[in-house]
Structure 1
Amino acid sequence: MIAIINTGCANINSVRFAFERLGVTPEIVSNPEQLNGFDRVILPGVGHANVAMKRLIEKGWKEAIAQYERPLLGICLGMQLLCDYSDEGQIDGLGMISGQITQLQTGKLTSPHMGWNTIQPIGEHPLLKNIDENDQVYFVHSFAHTVNESTLAQCEHGQAFSAIVAKDNYAGMQFHPEKSAKVGAKLLNNFMQWQV
């Protein structure tokens, strides 16, 4: 049983379809009290961190996410909101994963970072099962998590940044696994198998 949190700040259908391709039908939930009825939760998100965080707080998701004890995955902005702090809007995040979100220093490269890029796994983790150094995933972002002890995989676009992070039962992917073809499907499958 997988729940997708309806934040009002994401294309929920593309995430739902990605799981359906794996033979799982997630349920879209709009009430924080529903979370405990699910084995796993997805926190998607696109747009501005300030707006999305405000919605999470107003609708009571902050407490529900903090109290959730099973695997929870943040995607793109959803990942950033799980962290301590974001420079985008100067906001405190949910604080489930240590680290700060800062603007990517892309130099002469394009911003936002958009398109396919290689991720480099760091160490071992169930979420990284069968993921190789040359695997590519699809990104769309201009802010990113700085590489630290929570980083499971990193990427580079002008600077190194976290592509996958995890702490306890919380994980995040800066890219869009639902748009990342076979590698994305593999990562979502790993999330479904992840035991905490």
Structure 2
Amino acid sequence: MTYSSPTAVPPAAAAGLTDRELVAVILDGKRAYLNELYRRYQDRVYYKCLGMVRDASQAQDLAHDVFIKVFTNLHKYQGNADLSFWIYAITYNHCVSHLKKAKRLRFDTMEESVDAVDGSQDALHEKLLHDLQLDQLDRLLKRLPREDEVLLTLKYQEAMSVKQIAAILQLSESAVKMRLLRCRERLAKLLNGLSHA
């Protein structure tokens, strides 16, 4: 990665702290410990941004913005979820907002009914996803619309729950379930197309 920590080396004592302890120390006024927080998450945040925007320069800018948001909102971290999830939520929210503004991603609001989902068909698509090799899945995801790729990445590569995805994308849980169903259907069609080729 080409960008570096915003300030000097973190205090040596910082490395032995858990994430929760680190946040408590920072909120207690020891701002130098922000460096350790940055050090722990810089690569993960950058690569999450890169995975979403697929442009190194944009990813660096977005990662920088994410850390500004993390640092300025650290007092809002409640400790209810892991710090890593809280930071990932900020990262995904920021990247999704960026992509929406750039008109490269659309999560339109629409009436969606989960009751209409055919459970057996959905279970088949779910099994197909689990049977795919990671490299196959990655190649197929790149052929889907960006919205589908983001949803499936959150669900299957990040192992997030429907509730977590709904919070990040600011959608209802039923909307997320319906969208995931549609994404899996499109992915299954792509996979079937490959197997018959």
TM bin, normalised by shorter chain, reads under 0.3
Bigger Rg over Cα: 2
* TM-score, with structure 1 as normaliser: 0.25
**Greater strand fraction, Structure 1 or Structure 2:** 1
**Greater helix fraction, Structure 1 or Structure 2:** 2
